[in-house]
Structure 1
Amino acid sequence: MPRRIKAYHSCLGIAQLYDRNPFVVAWWSAAFPGFGHMLLNMHLRGNLFFLFEILINVNAKLNLAMVYTFCGKFESAKNVIDTRWILLYIPFYFFCIWDSYRSAIDMNKLNDLAKDEKLTVQAMVIKNCDICFLDKRNPLIAAIYSLFMPGLGQIYTKRTIPAIALLIWTLVISYFSKDLEAVERLVSGDIIGATRIVDGEWLLFFPSLIFGASYDALASTVEQNHIFTLEQKQYLWNEWQPAHFYINLPIRKEE
């Protein structure tokens, strides 16, 4: 039994160690606190930060102040900010960035240690709730699915836990932002009605959520394909490679 495992496969999906750029992880935490941790497969911590980000942001009126700032209404942006909540947001925001950066460095170290360990991941897992198996999938298709709706790309790659979390957050943000109702009015030609009904404070959560989910689907699919290759290679080595096998290369004569 290896001391450190590189990947774990269950009916809820696959979690794995692989090299990540700590600055990229920290950037996603800056874009949406919690996303950096979800990229590291720390879904419990990531969703907790998601909850606090939305709770504090909405009460601090931070996104609403950003909407006023984009429209050039600086005085309105200054007046709408709730300082009691914004002072809580500042340490929380920078802690998420720092913690995701530190965690990415630690994960890279664990990955280096696990490289020399034997891969113990199962190729197929059958449970009453689901059937999961290692397979190669197209990373671009996973990314495109998550662009249409965050979480679909994760379902495509059979990562149930992040898929459920992202779908729930998408439904919550979509409901409060009224984006679909605004799209309906926009398609009908009612541009003024669409701009009036949409809630810009909640709508600003969408860019980070959509592109973050798409990036996560892309990166995780690439690494799952790598795990599939490693598992297949190890199986063929253990089951089909004779222990006494060697390659007798001809000796090159000196000219």
Structure 2
Amino acid sequence: MNNYTNDNTARRYKAHVSIFGTTQLHLRNPYIIAWWSAAFPGFGHMLLSKYLRGYALFIWEVIVNVNAHVNSAMIYSFQGNIDMAKDVLDTRWLLMYIPVYLFGIWDSYRTTVDMNRIYLLSDREDHRFNSFAIGALEINYLDKRNPIVSLMWSLCIPGLGQLYIHRILTAIFVIVWLVIFYYFSHIQEAIVLLILGDVKEATSVLHSDWLLFIPSHYGFAIYDSYINTVENNKLFEKDLRKHLTLNYQSKKFQILKGQKVK
């Protein structure tokens, strides 16, 4: 049996390479993951590669937020118009929003702590994992990429940085929802009007309920692509180091107190 594949002979694996992307365990800061869940429910779980849970929380956030008019209320609050913020909120949706929002933050923190423990155990077990995947639709393999390139492509259009590092599921999800946010917020119409000098009209066409999703969406895409490029590079180096050690290093080779002994 090929020892480069996940053959279920190990209790824990550090990573898995498939045609849809590279999923790996690595140490994460629970507070940063919880912060991303607070910024936008679902983002924290997606950073952990808990995609189904992340997608569910993300879609819940969009549906309930838009119907409760949370983003519009936030804008009125920033402007100091508290009475208008109260009037625009729909309490029928708002009371459903709060418990799930808090759950997303709590669960992402708890899951991060658990996954950090699992990573330490899997790193100690250090079992081989597949580093190359080929299928009818795609090819994926471990290699090194430039984190700055990932960041720059994500700045252009969220999702392109994920495509660069072959995070296909996240890339598709981010790009599709970016189009939705662009369409319903009318931000591109506002940009054209702003270029033409019609500031008042540009402001009036914007839909605040959808507009405030975009900054978080950009921020997540940039952070996710950059961090995962860095971690993929670390994983590649560890895998290559182990491959070279097992196949090319003499079994008699030792390093004691900085001295090479043969």
Under TM normalisation by the shorter chain, which class is it?
over 0.9
* 1:88 aligned to which of 75, 87, 96: 96
- Once residues 44 and 71 of structure 1 are traced to their aligned partners in structure 2, the CA distance between those partners, rounded to angstroms, is 37
* 2:183 aligned to which of 175, 197, 212: 175
Tell me by how many angstroms 1:246 deviates.
4.3
Tell me what 1:103 maps to. Answer: 111
Q: Is the 8 A contact 1:146 1:210 kept in 2?
A: yes
* 1:230 aligned to which of 225, 238, 243: 238
Query: C-alpha deviations, 1:2-58, integer Å up to 9, x for none?
Result: 210000001101000000000000000000000000110111111110000011101
Q: Is the 8 A contact 1:2 1:118 kept in 2?
A: no
Tell me what 2:57 maps to. Answer: 49
- Once residues 19 and 246 of structure 1 are traced to their aligned partners in structure 2, the CA distance between those partners, rounded to angstroms, is 29
Matching residue's letter, 1:105: V
- Once residues 101 and 247 of structure 1 are traced to their aligned partners in structure 2, the CA distance between those partners, rounded to angstroms, is 40
Tell me what 1:68 maps to. Answer: 76
SS of 1:96 mapped into structure 2: helix
Over 3 Å counting, the alpha-carbon distance change for 1:200 and 1:115 in structure 2 is same
Q: Is the 8 A contact 2:25 2:119 kept in 1?
A: yes
What are structure 1's unaligned runs of at least 5 residues? none
Q: Is the 8 A contact 2:253 2:260 kept in 1?
A: no
Tell me by how many angstroms 1:247 deviates.
6.0
Tell me what 1:145 maps to. Answer: 153
* 2:141 aligned to which of 125, 133, 137: 133
Over 3 Å counting, the alpha-carbon distance change for 1:195 and 1:241 in structure 2 is same
Tell me what 2:198 maps to. Answer: 190
Tell me what 1:29 maps to. Answer: 37
Tell me by how many angstroms 1:72 deviates.
2.5
Q: Is the 8 A contact 2:190 2:202 kept in 1?
A: yes
Q: Is the 8 A contact 2:254 2:260 kept in 1?
A: no
- Once residues 68 and 131 of structure 2 are traced to their aligned partners in structure 1, the CA distance between those partners, rounded to angstroms, is 47
Tell me what 2:66 maps to. Answer: 58
Q: Would you say 1:19 and 2:27 are equivalent positions?
A: yes
Query: C-alpha deviations, 1:111-155, integer Å up to 9, x for none?
Result: 010111234233322211011121111112212221222111100
Matching residue's letter, 2:184: F
Q: Is the 8 A contact 1:146 1:213 kept in 2?
A: yes
Over 3 Å counting, the alpha-carbon distance change for 1:250 and 1:172 in structure 2 is closer
Q: Root-mean-square deviation (CA), in Å?
A: 1.6
Query: C-alpha deviations, 1:48-90, integer Å up to 9, x for none?
Result: 1000001110111111111222223221111111111111111
Number of residue pairs matched by the alignment? 251
What TM-score do you get using the length of structure 1 for normalisation? 0.94
Q: Is the 8 A contact 1:151 1:162 kept in 2?
A: yes
Over 3 Å counting, the alpha-carbon distance change for 1:247 and 1:66 in structure 2 is closer
Tell me by how many angstroms 1:200 deviates.
1.5
The percentage of aligned residue pairs carrying the same residue is 45
- Once residues 54 and 131 of structure 1 are traced to their aligned partners in structure 2, the CA distance between those partners, rounded to angstroms, is 33
SS of 2:26 mapped into structure 1: coil
Q: Is the 8 A contact 1:154 1:163 kept in 2?
A: yes
Tell me by how many angstroms 1:184 deviates.
1.1
* 2:170 aligned to which of 152, 162, 170: 162
